[in-house]
Amino acid sequence: MTDLTKLKIAEARDLLAKGDITSRELTEAHIAAVEAADDLNAYIEKTPEIALSQADAADAKIKAGDAKGMTGIPVGIKDLFSTKGVHTQACSHILEGFKPEYESTVTQNLWDDGAVMLGKLNMDEFAMGSSNETSFYGPVKNPWRRGDTDTVPGGSSGGSVASVAGFTAMGATASDTGGSIRQPASFTGTFGFKPTYGRCSRYGMVAFASSLDQAGTITRDVRDGAIMMESIAGFDAKDSTSVDISVPNFEAALTGDIRGMKIGIPQEYHLAGMPGEIEALWHKGIEWLKAAGAEVVDINLPHTKYALPTYYIVAPAEASSNLARYDGVRYGLRETVDGGGLADMYEATRAAGFGDEVKRRIMIGTYVLSAGYYDAYYLKAQKVRQLIADDFKRAFAKVDAILTPTAPSAAFAFGEKSDDPLAMYLNDVFTVPASLAGLPGSSIPAGLDSNGLPLGLQILGKPWDEETVFKVSGVLEEAAGFTSEPELWWR
C-alpha cells in the first residue's frame, strides 16, 4: 500500500487487525497529508502529538485483542465538539482561546473506541452558513475545483468534508442543523449521515439551535459511515434530548437487498428552475432503486414550501437565546471601553466577537421572540413545523424511505452567493424539511455535473430507522458506482 491515506475505514480496520499496518503508520501518513494540505484550510488546530499518543494506545489495544470498529482510525473533529484541553471555539472570534475542561460525549465515544484525533476542523461560525465562508479562520477550499476556479465545500461542516474528500482524515465528525452534513457531502463527493434527533448526545457540542442540532459523520463511503455512526451514537444522561434506545449494528444493515421496499418520491421537490442535471440524476436514482427491486411511490409533502421560512425563524430564535451567554465575562474574547461600564463591555465584545452572519441571525431571532411578535412569528413557525412533521408521518405510513436530490446545485465559486443571504439559504431547500422533523438522512455521491463537480442524492428514513437509510444508501452507492476523486492540486 503506497498511500495509506487512500484507505477507507473498513479497509484499514481489516489491515490493522491482521497486523499488516499499524495505527502509528496510518496516523503518521495522515499527519503528513494534513501538513501538505494547508491550502485547503480544513484544519484550524492540528494535534499531531495527541494523535501519535492515541495511535500507540490503539496499537496496544489491537495487540491485546481489544479492538473495536474505530480503533486506530485517524479522524478530524469539527470545531464545535468540545475537546478537553484542546482549543474549541466553533470558529468564532468570541471564543478565542477557549480550551474546555470537559470532552463532548460524541468525541469521548470515539476515544473510548480507540480512534485517533488529527485535529480540529474549520466550519462556518457557530455552524451558521452553507458555504464555509463565515469562519473567523477564513474559508475552506473544496478539494474539487471548477476548472481553475476554487469552489466552496458547502457548510457548515466544510472542514469535515474537505478533510475526508482531500484524504487528510479517514472520517470526520460533523453536525446538521438544517443540512450541514448532507449539503457539504453532496458538494464534495463524500457520504454524509445525519441520524434521528436524539440518537447522538449533544453534550459538549457548542449550541446553535438546540431543537435541531444533531451530530453525525462524514466518510468516504456508506460502510465507513455505518462503522463511525455506531461508534458515536448512544444514550447519554447528560443530554435531556438523548433517547434511551439501543444502537443497532448499522454495518450489518448493508445487505444490498431492498426488494419489496417502497421508496417515496415527493412531488414538491420538483422545483421550478432546478438544473436539468439535478433532475436527471434524481431520475437515475429512481431507476437504480427500481432495478434493485424496490417499488417507487409518488408521495406528497404539502407543507414543504414552508420549510425554509419556518427554519429561518426557529433556528435564529434559538440561536439568539443560546448565544446570549457569550458576554466576555467568564471565557473567550473580552473587549473593554475606556471609561465604560459592564454594558459597554458586553456591547464591544459581542460587536467584535461575532461575524456578520451570526449577528444577522441573532437580530432576526431576537426580533421574532420579542413582545408583540412572538405569536406572529415564532409560535406560528412551531405550528408549521408540526405540520411538516405530520406530512412525513403520513408519507412513512406508505413508504419505507424517501429519495430526493441533496442540494439544488453543485458547489459554487467563492463569493458567488455570499452577498445574497436568501440565495445562500436556498442551498438548504432539500435538507431543511427533514431537520425540522428530526428524521435520519444521508447524502450519497451519485454523479458529476458538466463541470466535473460532485452531485448527491438524499435518502430520508423514519425516526430511529437508520438501518433502512443505510441499506438503501448502500444500494444507491453500488448502482451509482461513484469512484471519482479530486485532483490533489494542493500537494
Catalytically active residues are: 78, 156, 180
Which residues are registered as beta bridge partners of 214? 176
* 88/287 Cα distance (integer angstroms): 45
Residue among 191, 253, 254 nearest 225 (CA)? 191
Confirm if 439 and 460 have CB atoms less than 8 A apart.
yes
Residue 325: count of CB within 10 angstroms of its CB: 11
* 440/458 Cα distance (integer angstroms): 10
Contacts made by residues 16-23, CB under 8 angstroms, sequence distance 24+: 16/62, 16/67, 16/71, 16/72, 17/62, 17/67, 19/62, 22/55, 22/59, 22/72, 23/55, 23/56, 23/58, 23/59, 23/62, 23/71, 23/72, 23/73, 23/74, 23/116
Q: What is the residue type of 366?
A: T
Residue among 423, 308, 323, 419 nearest 366 (CA)? 323
Residue among 439, 417, 477, 490 nearest 190 (CA)? 477
* 31/119 Cα distance (integer angstroms): 9
Q: What is the residue type of 246?
A: S
Residue 36: count of CB within 10 angstroms of its CB: 16
The crossing angle, in degrees rounded to 10, of helices 466-480 and 276-291 is 100
Query: What are φ and ψ of residue 433, in 5° steps?
Result: -55, -45
Q: Angle 441-219-412 (CA atoms, 0-180°, nearest 5)?
A: 75
* 367/365 Cα distance (integer angstroms): 5
Give the three-class secondary structure for 366. helix
Answer positive or negative: Cα dihedral of 426, 428, 434, 436: negative
* 53/92 Cα distance (integer angstroms): 29
Within 8 A by CB and 6+ apart from 282, the residues are 403, 404, 405, 457
Question: Strand locations in 422-464, DSSP E?
Answer: 441-448, 454-461
- Which phi-psi region, left, alpha or beta, contains residue 147 (left: φ > 0; alpha: ψ -120 to 50)? left
